[in-house]
């Protein structure tokens, strides 16, 4: 999770929305500053370094996804790395410190979502990272800052008043801000609690508190420490192989499977033979976009995912460039495509499926279905493919030596004495021999 989040975050520093947020955040300054990933010449106050790095992580919808539905890592990891640079020099944050705080931030998100049946489905009202991500980042920050249980309760209660962003901004440049704000607001809540600000300590138990965000919210007492088990031990996350809404990954695999019946070897798709394309999908309205016009809309379109896979035989970062979205052959294929919903296909990342049926002009019918895509927690990416994704994402952002060092540091995070090494590598400067020597001696 950590390596993947760093990789998609570094890639996200190349996006337009990230650059806009950098320009905005430069108006803030303080004596304490933290790294902006892939920008060695820019440092920002911890709150705003957290913000812009969180935006980068979610800028292309390439980050991990969990069930119940949220993107857990992007709200937490930027916070912890920003704090690790903001603390007094004599208080070094080790890799073990970071790992424990990270897992607490993920755990809090999962526990809160398990208190509601609504959270198990793909969201309809609020974007989950803006809710549970805000409280998860507050919990993680509280742990790393050393807040006691009473101030940690205050931090969570304060964070709840920052939480919530409407799903209507999905498929726009504003959606990544939900992730950046989740981290920033969680960190700010922890700072305010540290400073003595008080809030309603029962807010997580109340329908008018955290229950305002989820229907059927029923908080429960957690197990004792002696019998406690971490949610990540029970269920892993999904890791994406291309930057788009998780539901489109089922669609891509189904479309690629049916394409094999039409295309032999490396030949192009015989689009002229296709009469209609029917996509059987769960009813997720914000991923129903028949003719997307921007990269953000294309990332949230079952139709675009299917047609891109059919036309090109793959989906990648480049698939969402404007010239690929607006090409005539794409428009033609989208015009032949329609969606169907069935009652057995529920909008849940745990058990949804996608099916592609192509009717040819000669009457032949081709159908393929995907129940679990490669990268889902039931069929996880191999370690080798995860590293390949990271290397592909970072190739134009940091030096190959720095990328290799980041992989090595993350693989051995529990042995790392000072997280300053990791933040130095994330700056994106050329990896010096001194830094690499420091890496090898620490791990």
- Per-residue pLDDT tens over the stretch 237-246: 999 999 999 9
Phi-psi region of 428 (alpha: psi -120 to 50; beta: other; left: phi over 0): left
Residue 87, judged by CB atoms within 10 A of its CB (0-12, 13-18, 19+), counts as: middle
Peptide bond into 201 cis (omega under 30): no
The burial class, CB within 10 Å (0-12 / 13-18 / 19+), for 118 is middle
β-pairing, 365-370 vs 43-44, is: unpaired
Q: 360 has which bridge partners?
A: 274
Distance CA 314, CA 30 (A): 46
Say if residues 247 and 67 touch (Cβ distance below 8 Å): no
Pick the range with the lowest mean pLDDT from 53-67, 106-120, 372-386, 422-436: 422-436
Strand, helix or coil for residue 128: helix
pLDDT per position as a tens digit, 411-429: 999 999 999 999 999 997 5
User: 443 pLDDT band (50/70/90 cuts)?
Assistant: low
Whether residue 202 has pLDDT greater than 70:
yes
Helix, strand counts (H, E) of the chain: 19, 6
**Among the listed residues 109, 22, 103, 24, the one whose alpha carbon sits nearest the alpha carbon of residue 65:** 109
Closest to 217 in 3D by CA, of 226, 225, 206: 206
How far is it, in rounded angstroms, from Cα 302 to Cα 155? Answer: 39
Alpha helices in 223-378 (DSSP H): 231-234, 247-262, 295-298, 302-312, 322-325, 328-335
- Tell me which residue of 232, 154, 189 sits closest to 79, measured CA to CA: 189
pLDDT band for position 37 (cuts 50, 70, 90) = very high
What's the pLDDT score for residue 433?
A: 45
pLDDT tier for residue 430 given thresholds of 50, 70 and 90: low
Residue 220 confidence (pLDDT): 87
Cβ contact 210:118 at 8 Å: no
Taking only the tens place, the pLDDT of each residue in 265-314 is 778 999 999 999 999 999 999 999 999 999 999 999 999 999 999 999 99
pTM (2 d.p.): 0.94
Of residues 295, 297, 331, 316, the one with CA closest to residue 252: 316
DSSP state of 70: B
- Asked if pLDDT for residue 224 goes beyond 80, the answer is yes
Asked if residues 304 and 325 have their Cβ atoms less than 8 Å apart, the reply is yes
Computed over every residue of the chain, the mean pLDDT equals: 94
User: pLDDT value at position 292?
Assistant: 98
Averaged pLDDT, 229-240: 91
DSSP character for 329?
Answer: H
Lowest mean pLDDT segment, chosen from 311-325, 385-399, 419-433: 419-433
Q: Are strands 274-280 and 337-340 parallel, antiparallel or unpaired?
A: parallel
Q: How confident is the model at residue 397 (pLDDT cuts 50, 70, 90)?
A: very high
189-210 mean pLDDT: 94
Q: Give the pLDDT confidence of 97-114 residue by residue, as tens digits.
A: 999 999 999 999 999 999
């Amino acid at each position: 999770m950590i390596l993947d989040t760093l990789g998609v975050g570094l890639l996200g520093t190349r996006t337009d929305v990230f650059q806009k947020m950098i320009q905005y955040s430069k108006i803030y300054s303080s004596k304490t500053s933290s790294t902006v990933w892939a920008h060695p010449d820019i440092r920002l106050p911890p709150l705003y370094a957290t913000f812009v790095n969180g935006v980068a992580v979610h800028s292309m919808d390439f980050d991990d996804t969990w069930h119940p539905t949220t993107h857990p890592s992007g709200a937490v990891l930027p916070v912890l790395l920003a704090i690790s640079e903001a603390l007094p020099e004599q208080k070094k944050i080790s890799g073990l410190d970071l790992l424990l705080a990270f897992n607490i931030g993920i755990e809090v998100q999962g526990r809160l979502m398990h208190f509601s049946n609504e959270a198990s489905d793909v969201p309809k009202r609020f974007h989950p990272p803006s809710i549970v991500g805000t409280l998860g980042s507050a919990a993680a920050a509280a742990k790393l800052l050393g807040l006691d249980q009473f101030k940690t309760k205050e931090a969570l209660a304060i964070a709840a008043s920052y939480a919530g962003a409407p799903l209507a901004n999905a498929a726009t440049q504003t959606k990544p801000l939900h992730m950046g704000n989740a981290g920033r607001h969680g960190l700010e809540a922890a700072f305010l609690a540290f400073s003595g600000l008080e809030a309603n300590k029962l807010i997580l138990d109340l329908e008018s508190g955290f229950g305002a965000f989820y229907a059927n919210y029923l908080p429960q007492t957690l197990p004792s420490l002696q019998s406690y088990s971490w949610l990540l031990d029970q269920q892993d996350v999904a890791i994406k192989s291309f930057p788009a809404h998780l539901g489109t990954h089922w669609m891509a695999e189904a479309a690629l499977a049916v394409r094999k019946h039409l295309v032999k070897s490396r030949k192009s798709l015989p689009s002229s033979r296709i009469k209609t394309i029917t996509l059987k999908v769960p009813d997720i309205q914000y991923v129903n976009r028949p003719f997307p016009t921007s990269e953000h809309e294309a990332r949230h379109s079952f139709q675009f995912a299917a047609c891109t896979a059919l036309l090109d035989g793959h989906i990648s970062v480049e698939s969402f460039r404007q010239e690929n979205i607006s090409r005539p052959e794409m428009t033609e294929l989208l015009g032949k495509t329609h969606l169907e919903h069935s009652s057995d296909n529920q909008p849940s990342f745990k058990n949804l499926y996608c099916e592609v049926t192509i009717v040819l002009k000669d009457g032949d019918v081709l159908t393929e279905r995907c129940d679990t895509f490669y990268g889902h927690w039931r069929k996880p990416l191999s370690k080798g493919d995860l590293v390949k994704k990271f290397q592909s994402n970072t190739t134009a952002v940091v030096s190959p030596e720095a990328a290799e060092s980041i992989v090595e540091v993350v693989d051995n995070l529990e042995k790392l004495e000072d997280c300053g090494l990791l933040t130095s590598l994330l700056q994106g400067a050329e990896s010096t021999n001194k830094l690499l020597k420091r890496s090898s001696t620490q791990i």
